[in-house]
Amino acid sequence: MTSEETGLVYDPHVHDPEQNPNANLLNQSVNNYGTTTTSENTPAYHEQFSKERKLAIVGMISCCGLLPVFVSGSFLPTIPDIAEDLGTTGSVVSLTVSISVLAACIGALFGATYSGFYGRKPVYLVGLPLLTIGSIGVALSPSIEYLVIWRFLQTMGGAPGLSVGAGVIGDIYQLEERGTAMGIFFSATLLGPALAPFVGGLVTQFFSWRIMQLGLGFFGFLFFLLIVALTVFMQLFRFIICTMLPIGIEKRRQELQAQGKPESELKGFVWINPFKQLLLLRSPNLLGVAVAGTATLITDYVLLVPLAYTVGARYNIKSQAALGMCYIPIGVGNLITAPLAGHLSDRIVLKYRASRGGVWYPEDRLRGTFIGAGLLVPLSMVGVGIGATWGTGMVGLIFCLISLFMNGIGVDMVLSPIAAYIVDILHQRSAESIAANNAFRSILISLLIVPILPMVEAIGVFWTNVIAAVGSLVFGFAILWIVIRFGDRLRAWIDVGFSTAASN
């Protein structure tokens, strides 16, 4: 029987002494972990932001989150042109995709770590100029070596836009609204996958891939100027980006003081090890969803990185603008699904919480991932493999595009609830936990991207896609099921400072 005093999380198979001999020991651990609260105990901090102000905040951080997605998405359809311009091969240029994913990992970790100490705003004021300088460097690169260096800087500068943006969502939205807000944020940022490849292909077709990179630098600088203007002239930006609870920043300062650092050193730049956030992944819950998200997201790269050499080659699509349009279905799938998946996960949380008499079980949010991870993602991979191997004419091309659209829907049905779940269970360290998750995902993906084109050339697109589909089932769907089923036990096993219902 549950009540308002029941532990934060509850599962009768785990907590009922009649069903689990170890229930008493586990219940003691969980009761120490936290208690549930009613809506009357919602932190007053969330109420300081009106609905209109929250939407303004989401709009601002979405613009900054859109840029890094455009940086990655607009690059893919231009790979053949870059290879020809720099006198190399598509496989070599595709390595820069792998390196940029690694740069995104590092940038996200640094951004999230320092946003927890200095606040959200300074991270944007540093990251956007780096993106601008890197974009100009990429545009002027005379060789593949220079391209790699500047691409690394470009991607690292834009990377905090996603992790810090998710942290801002956690700052201003309460638990029952967070999935919907996260979905809106991801929906806006996922305009990138929908539009970036087409825009990149179109600009390359009629101008040059270098012009596209200069355009990214221009918009990075434009957003930087907007933030500076809001900071200096309107004093509105402190509400838009500096949303982190002051207690979070103060706690970090106290930690550094406890390490014996003088006050004068705290007033200047303080070195904080950003890779320390990866220790959060010692939690089986966080590691599990990171692995599941990676297994799901890598299917995007398996489809998109070699698209010019698979679907493009099969249907004789040589125009960069036309090739860019082939990327649109997967982006549209992302765009449509992100807010719906987030809202669905909120409804699932409310439904199961009510069924337990008000007890919050965080892993309920992940139940919304099942259709995407278990059905849409693997089927879409096989669909593209069939269409790009045996399809002919317009019917075959349409089949490929529909499969790409299904993949976009499936991937976001997994990633949106995972992001909201991570913020839920580590609310006070939301940006850091998102960054740790994204960093882990980026490291793995940067390694997994390398063999994609060689595999397509060696065993064909069909079997390459089948392998990715099986991987998404084993390491995506299955692991998510385990985290949902045994979430209580896993959190009781290793507690990395999980949030309670009271602190959400």
Q: 43-97: per-residue pLDDT in tens?
A: 445 556 666 677 777 777 777 788 887 887 777 777 778 888 888 777 777 777 7
Q: Is the dihedral of CA 67, 217, 448, 486 positive or negative?
A: negative
Helix (H, G, I), strand (E, B) or coil at 417: helix
Residues of the chain predicted below pLDDT 50: 1-44, 234, 236-241, 244-248
* pLDDT for residue 288: 94
Parent domain of 433: 51-493
Tally of domains in the chain: 1
Q: Which pLDDT score is estimated for 448?
A: 85
Q: Is residue 329 part of a domain?
A: yes
Q: Residue 390: what pLDDT?
A: 93
- Answer whether residue 447 is part of any domain: yes
Q: In whole angstroms, what is the distance from residue 213 CA to residue 414 CA? A: 31
- Residue 363 is classified by DSSP as G
pLDDT at residue 300 in the model: 87
Q: What is the pLDDT of residue 471?
A: 94
pLDDT at 232: 62
Report pLDDT for 504: 56
CATH number at residue 160: 1.20.1250.20
HSE, CB side, 13 Å, CA atoms: give it for residue 239: 17
Q: For residue 46, tell me if it sits in a domain.
A: no
10 assigned to some structural domain: no
Q: What is the pLDDT of residues 436-447, one digit of tens each?
A: 888 888 788 878
* Nearest CA among 156, 159, 158 for reference residue 219: 158
> Which pLDDT score, from 0 to 100, does residue 465 have?
94
Amino acid in the structure at residue 177: E
What pLDDT does residue 93 have?
79
pLDDT at 6: 30
The sign of the torsion formed by the CA atoms of 184, 185, 188, 190 equals: negative
Distance, CA of 481 to CA of 384 (rounded, Å): 26
Q: Is residue 29 part of a domain?
A: no
